[in-house]
Structure 1
Amino acid sequence: MDKMNKEEQINALREELRQHNYNYYVLDKREISDFEFDTKLKTLQKLEAEYPEFYDANSPTLRVGGQVTKNFPTIKHTHRMYSLDNSYSREDLLDWENRMKKLVDGQIQYTCELKYDGASISLTYEHGLLVQAVTRGDGFQGDEVTNNIKTIKSVPLKLNGEYPDTFDIRGEIVLPYAGFAKMNEERIAAGEEPYANPRNTASGSLKLQDSSEVAKRPLECLLYTIVGDHLGFASHHESLEKARSWGFKVPNESKLVDSIEEVLEYIAYWDKHRSELPYETDGVVIKVNNLYQQEELGFTAKAPRWAMAYKFKADQVSTRLKEITYQVGRTGAITPVANLEPIALAGTVVKRASLHNADQIAKLDVRVNDTVFVEKGGEIIPKIVGVDFTKRDSKSIPTTYIQNCSECGTPLLRAEGEAQHYCPNTFGCFPQIVGRIQHFISRKAMDIEGLGGETVALLVKAGLIKDYADLYTLKKEDVLPLERMAEKSADNLIQGVQKSIEIPFERVLFALGIRYVGETVAKKLAKHYKSIDAIMSATEEQLVMVDEIGIKIAESVVEFFKQPYSVSLINRLRASGLQLELSAEKLASQTTTLADKTFVVSGVFTQVTRNELKKLIEDNGGKVSSSISAKTSFLVAGDKMGPSKLEKATKLGISIISEVDFLNMIR
């Protein structure tokens, strides 16, 4: 009986402390003193130590941290974390609205939310309990930081009320100005360097190995969207209200509006009043409120069509340009860089800024020793936007763009119609060699664990590799003599290289680093041609027949495989066992049943989801389009389909089929 009473006491204390945490950190309402809270927490810790059989992974006692994480495992996001397209003017927003009105029916309402500047996080809940926290990473996969996130008081470990069985909720980990200032006061008092800005400090906190150190930092988590299947919401605004009722800290500044004019009023208000907020913010995120309309609009390769980030005007400062240097990229592209007198800008110290190309230097008439105006493009990348001619020395000399590569001395080329100069010494220019290998091993390409950019440079300098095919002949004894290379690191490197042999064909194709062949283009080519040999033998005329492959891409692909060195690389990769054709599993799921047919999908479906339906079209050789035109073969119509699509399809004589008709078609 006593044991049963203790379990009840432990559970009652847990619930009471959870409620106090919620009241204070989410509702900003204190009901007991810090002393009373700490006393109750210590009582709970003592009881949990005495009765370990009543352990709860989501107990409030775990918020103090203590777990040490040496390696943060990489986890694939169930639902991709997309970037957002940016806008900077009323015209941008009106253009965006006009594009959407061509794709969806009915009035478009918008939810406006402040864009807080922190570190993005994805939290997974199952049956009301926090089970996993993953950083944004590259959008496809991130680092698992669950132990550290559990120390943040505004992240509920257990939800209130009724909620879906499983879902992900996305948010921003931020460091309030007051907490940041206090942290810096303590660091200065201890004789340590102060932190540069709240955003970077918040982001760095997520990867601290000792969660008790994270617990000492006054981090907060502001939630902004829920993702998952069959969530039961009709609108984004409704989902935010639900999340708030479950115990999440959802900023109260979000607002539902009916027009772009009201969006602009919201932007104007917060541009003026953002300094009153307790956190850093750099803009406003505008989302289509209706979730059915969001589904209709879908995504581009990088961003949702139904959301837009409006960036507040960037901070601008002036400083002296000390020197112009030139960087060589992996494709040989030359980028001029302005080296500046260090200056504080938007929370960071800026020492370098991009000058883009020769035309930009000429247009701005930028010269060494000029006083230049610098701002952060989208408040991220510093750029020079002008020159203070009133401070120019009368003896200053116009900038002459370099004629030879700054790294290897090869004369530069500039193709007609292109803004950038290029170094043509593809296989002999050090930064190009290193850059290509760094691209090859990157996360979205071969994702080789245990091998970073610095190690690649060391391997090339040491003469151990001269291209990415050489990675597969490396031995442990080759890499051990490298600087800072321990036994374990050498093992991880060799194992990481061998494991990358399992990477699927479309990512190998992207990893090759063919100019203009990004992730999406690589997938299109892999799906169409199914093997590297078929792509190598394709002509420009054949390549441009592939969906979304233009002449520029086709010319680049043909040029790449025309080089004997490229053919040699492919043969060596083949000999090492890399995947140079679609797997049997992928081929088995693909047919040409719908070849040369274009489909528009609209409405709500019952047997498969809209995304599953689109995948079925593509897997069977068809093309999915977002809008109806004379080229559309079929309109797959579900419930609640907009009348304008139906009207347009009827007018153009396009076949309108049901979900069942479509499924029968591919069977």
Structure 2
Amino acid sequence: MVEEPADNPYVRDPDTSFDPVEKLSDATAREQVRDLREAIEYHDYRYYVANDPVVADRTYDTLFDRLVELEDTFDLHDENSPTRRVGGEPLDELETVEHVAPLLSLQSSGDADEIREFDRRIRDAVGDVTYSAEPKFDGFSVEVVYEDGAFDRAVTRGDGREGEDVSANVRTIGSVPLHLRGAPDVLAVRGEVYMPRSGFQALNERRIERGEDPFANPRNAAAGTVRLLDPETVADRPLDVFFYDVIDTSADLASQEETVDLLRGLGFRVDDETTVVEDVEGVLDYRDRLMAARDDLEYEIDGVVAKVVDFAKREELGSTARHPRWAFAYKFPARTGETTVERIVVQVGRTGKLTPVALLDPVDLQGVTISRATLHNAARIDELGVREGATVRIERAGDVIPEVVEVIEGGAEDGDFSMPGTCPVCDGNVVQEGEHHYCTNASCPAQLRRSLQHFCSRDAMDVEGVGEEAADQLVDTGLIESLADLYDLETADLVSLDGWGERSAENLLAELEASKDVDLGTFVYALGIRHVGTERARALAGAFSLDELMDASATELREIEDVGPEVAESVASYFDTAANVETVERLLDAGVSPKRRERGSELDGLTVVFTGSVPGYTRSELEDLLETHGANVTSSVSGRTDYLVVGENPGERKREQADAEGVETLDPAAFEERILSTL
């Protein structure tokens, strides 16, 4: 337990009625800064480590703000001031740093016989031993180095010999001490950065509501956050840390028990589950107890670690090139199939569709960690009876998208879910169409981020350089409030963004310029109209000019092959929306020039459908080739279809439809002979 600073006026019942800074002398300001830093560091310890704060949050904030004001006014900044926890300037890159001592990995297994064999080897070599039993944290390992009691650097494990300097990011974690009172002159410690489960779920909830992909599990979230180049972003994320080893020190330590006592005494956060057991059977019992309790912990663990307590015996046992001979990780079996629904949130897609998503206690499924699953729509939730807190079984639909398929045990009585009446991102009105709900605000940021990414994708405008991260940046910084704003971007706008240089900015502007000359069908697809994929976009472009399409009624649109009532209503509604028409007009004013494809007449009037793949061609290549020569390529078989081309790995449904409609089928060889050879 860290001792409370003596004679510090800002520790107990502090007076926060401060004098104006302009009335302070330099000497008084320096004294106040010193006292404030010491007090705030103590309050950080009481809040983050001891979980027993001695001042209210509002009082803490007042002290913190006063320290910021004094440091700014009197230029008294310090890298290890508590004010640095809010982040600093973005980094250009993470530098590589050598560890003070190798950070070795551990022998590991989930087989009880193997840890018993490990124990037998230990006792054969050094006699009876006791073990330190600790949780095996599923986080991100770091080395933290202190010089003369002051935080000096934090380094990732890397390859065990050297890692990346993440000091600016680790400094933002509240439970990492920045100053140690009574510390050895030399001290390097090892800890595990992790993201608490509650913080992980809240972070994923925000990401989903923003239309971003969630993190797969807390470990990935923690690892990705620690290695970010922007410490301010790191400071906004819920990271914590447990410390469990001393790597190097000038202190005289003889055992793991003394190590833990030193860490706790200096104010490091050590897990209360750490204990000492008498023998390997004690390790097995400890592992079984923690495995039963793992779902109740606020952090992820994937096993337990057993370490020989006595350092002299560790020295005798030594290490291999990869791992110490005196430690062993006894791992839990992977979770499979069943898990708990922590929260139900709503994701807004690029078409405005609201999709309920279950945020799950992470579970291993077919070798992949799953932390979310789609619930499709409100009707599906009601059908399954999903509630927050429910135990559910999940499957991967088509081995890709995880979904909840069964409720095994109901959740909390107050966990019933209903779709929101307004968009969770923009507060826009939500309308229901059949089983689905949609945000009606075309300027909704969640829609815009994904619409922008879709607009620039390869099958659309093919603007390289605008993936998910860039799309989020452009929208979040306010540079893009409409798709048309893309063509107003300038080099200065882009180089102001984190991670952008002059060359990447100029490359994007060149891509945008090249994209202006575009096929009409591609342009229609790029707009992201609900239910309009590449095939329907080409069909629309084949039947209408852009002006005609913008004026077409739902009745006129339904006359096109493969355009049913739902698609027709969606297209007509899109162009009936003033904001969408304005976007199209601004794109045209910016120089985007959609042109109808020149069509030959060799295959005029022919309607073809594909199922399966044709060797030597992509589906897009075949569709472009046939349509260029006058054919219509549709996605479904009807009485107006001339041929169904059945390639490799075909689907059954289209072949059944062809049989029912009397449509002739062609294999790839017959397709080549009957159609392609005529071109």
**What TM-score results when the alignment is normalised by the length of structure 1?**
0.48
Structure 1 or 2, whichever has the larger Rg, is: 2
